[in-house]
Amino acid sequence: MRSLIGLNPEQRKAVQYTGGPELIFAGAGSGKTKVLIHKIAYLIENNISKPQNILAVTFTNKAANELKTRIEKFFNKKILMPWVGTFHSIFAKILRHEIKYLGIDSNFTIYDTADQLELIKSEIEKNDIILGGFDVKNIHKRISFLKNKMIYPEEFEPRVGNKFDQIVKKVYERYQEALVKANALDFDDLLLYPLKLFERFPEILEKYRILFQYILVDEYQDTNKPQFYLVEALARKHRNICVVGDDDQSIYSWRGAEIENILRFNEFFPDCQVFKLEENYRSTKKILKAAAEVIKNNENRADKTLWSNNSDGEPIVLIEAQDEYDEAQRIAHFIEKEILTKKRTFRDFAVLYRINIQSRVIEEVFRRNNIMYTIIGGVRFYERKEIKDMISYFRVFLNPKDDISLKRIINFPPRGIGKVTLNLIEDFAKAKNITIYEALSHLDFIQLDKRQRNALQSFYDFINKFRKLLSKLSFEEWSRVLVDDLGVRGYYKRIGDEDSIDRLYNIEGLLNDISEFCRKNENPTIESYLENVSLISDIDTWEDTKNAVSLMTLHSAKGLEFPVVFICGLNDKLFPLERNGEIRNLEEERRLFYVGLTRAKEMVYLSTTNFTNYLGMPTQSKPSIFLSELPEDTLAIDSGSRTSTTLKRKKSNLRKERKSKKSGELEVGDRINHRIFGVGEVVKIEGYGDNARINVYFENHGLKTIIAKYLTK
């Protein structure tokens, strides 16, 4: 049986089990994707399920595309494919068919992060909401977090006396109303609306229960509340559900992911069978030993131990640098040395960091040393101005209620519609409670001069012309006719500067992208293309064929692997990251470090600095607490021209102080005070002295991790 060939004993058991709910703990590098593919193949090969009745959910398009490609390769022929995609793409597809039952047009626009922020700013301005110094991006993050916790605007109760919450509630209400008016959904709505559908229309839920006879979910440790309820609702009757994940790699609680979904899976499905994939095929034994020693300091985790038949490998190199420039120079030196002595290429290396600002100095040093690099999470192709402009045209033709997109294109290329003219249209639309597109059909009722009226009428006619053409031309042909009629090539050529020539090339790149999309998809439409563009993530655009060092945050590195990995900035307050004197989730920060270590196949370099300048003024810094958790026999210390005793002494002191009485006089059970959270009780102490991490339970705020120096007895 081909679906069982090449599997180790535990993988084989996991693939063969079809007796109900199944939880597979798949450690880093343990062949998780292979198991998913063989599981799907086993179901099809043994006629347990037809391909079209299998739903396989992933967290990135990259993972979904890899699954599809490898399933096709496995069967060595074109087969009717299972439903494979991300949560957002799968449920966006379902909504296109079913959202009409909620009174929403199926041609809805999916707003990306930039669109969401623009809409929030617009609503704040329209409704004269005073922000009081609070940042729009933080308001947006809070709204998204509330949606991920399934707290709707009308249900959100601001904390007493919390000004930020009060502002969020006002903005949240207006923002959601504006989305409905624009016939638009944000990413969170793509999960919340299906839940509303399933709740209000049980027959629709039943339809998809019958369709999805077997459900597999990848990266289950990253699921949030809506995702859990969607999966549970679909699997409740037949209970053919298989979830795969690793709680030690749960790193997204800040955006609503709930680690309890995987840790308590057997409570939600008491009859589930548990399998543990613990053999690692990626990393050396030394790397695995270091990672295991670090992660065992977490209490909230399932018991498992990764092992490997790979070689012992080289020790992890611990770099002690003077500051971030010295650190970046040392990283560049080791890259050059590895290339010279081990015949590596730039693509073999990844430099990982906790926050984006850390890349600035590294980029500067790499440019000076002629080291080719690429940044994952930089400005993506679809976020470039000229591409956003064209995508906005597509959106308006499909959904003219989309005011955000319409305002973006109303004077691109320039057609004589300035801010004054736009304000007149917007004021009229607001007074009549209609969209800007609808206002364009009432120009005779707006105080406009002849030039303004002609420009607006011409734009309105152009929109209607191309809306009609959508049904007459293929999407690929239609997009090329649009670019020709808009005259964007001539516009950029007339400007003629370097930026404009780049933009011109990018427009051609967009047309090529559309051609490629049409070639790969059986029924390519403007709707499916826009959906694909909206749901692309940073990692989906990463190409391992490019000969360049990859620079990215540790969060972006999840799911990737490299022969050599550098993790920089292992300093107190930076990693684990401290905000306002509080480490919000020390165990998650440790999981993030674990993810970084387990990206490496052969070699890991860690770096710490004596001084840091990332978080403000240059300050003397201590090594990260995580360095004290690494076993000595997995490390080799490099201090450049200086001796290595400094860091050894620091590590020794860290260990000694961790073993001695922790954080001065504070003990578990002590009652303490915090200037914001008030009185609380110490429940756990981790670390030493003023920088110890203290877990405190506050009656009105729950469990918080606070740095000792910010507490008083």
Q: Which residues are marked as active site? A: 32-33, 218-219, 249, 599
475: left (phi > 0), else alpha (psi -120 to 50), else beta? Answer: alpha
CA angle 216, 191, 525 (to 5 degrees): 85
Phi and psi (nearest 5°) for 535? -100, 10
226: nearest Cα among 181, 189, 191, 259: 191
Round to whole Å and give the CA distance between 564 and 561.
9
- Using DSSP, state whether 641 is helix, strand or coil: coil
Cβ pair 639, 320 in contact under 8 A: yes
Q: Output Rg (C-alpha) for the chain, integer angstroms.
A: 28
Q: What's the CA gap between 275 and 83, in Å, rounded?
A: 24
Structure tokens at 498: 């370097």
What angle do helix axes 526-534 and 498-520 make, rounded to 10 degrees? 120
Angle at 53 between CA 105 and CA 111, to 5 degrees: 30
| Alpha helix ranges (H) inside 80-135 | 87-98, 113-126
Residue for token pair 């809409």: 119
- The one-letter amino acid code at 173 reads E
For residue 231, give the nearest of 215, 211, 210 by alpha carbon. Answer: 215
Cα gap 246→248, rounded to integer Å: 5
- Burial zone of 636 (CB within 10 Å; 0-12 exposed, 13-18 middle, 19+ buried): exposed
Q: Which residues pair with 317 in a beta bridge?
A: 605, 636
Angle at 235 between CA 37 and CA 34, to 5 degrees: 10
Helix, strand, coil fractions of the chain, as percent rounded to 5: 50, 15, 35
Side chain identity, residue 129: I
Residue 167 contacts residue 386 (beta carbons within 8 Å): no
- In three-state secondary structure terms, 350 is strand
Return d(Cα 122, Cα 583) in angstroms, integer.
Answer: 34
Beta bridge partners of 244: 24
Kind and range of the H or E element at 599? none
d(Cα 130, Cα 125) in Å, to the nearest integer? Answer: 9
What one-character-per-residue DSSP string does 381-442 give?
GGGSHHHHHHHHHHHHHH-TT-HHHHHHHTTSS--S--HHHHHHHHHHHHHHT--HHHHGGG
DSSP 206-245: HHHHHH-SEEEESSGGG-BHHHHHHHHHHHTTT--EEEEE
SS (H, E, C) 119-134: HHHHHHHHCCCCCCCC
For 516-541, give one letter per residue: b (16+ CB within 10 A) or e. Answer: ebbeeeeebebbbbbbbbbbbbbbbb
C-alpha to C-alpha distances, 239 to 125, 230, 243, nearest whole angstrom = 49, 13, 12
Q: How far is CA 560 from CA 130, 332, 482, in A?
A: 43, 21, 38
Report residue 270 CA to chain centroid gap: 31
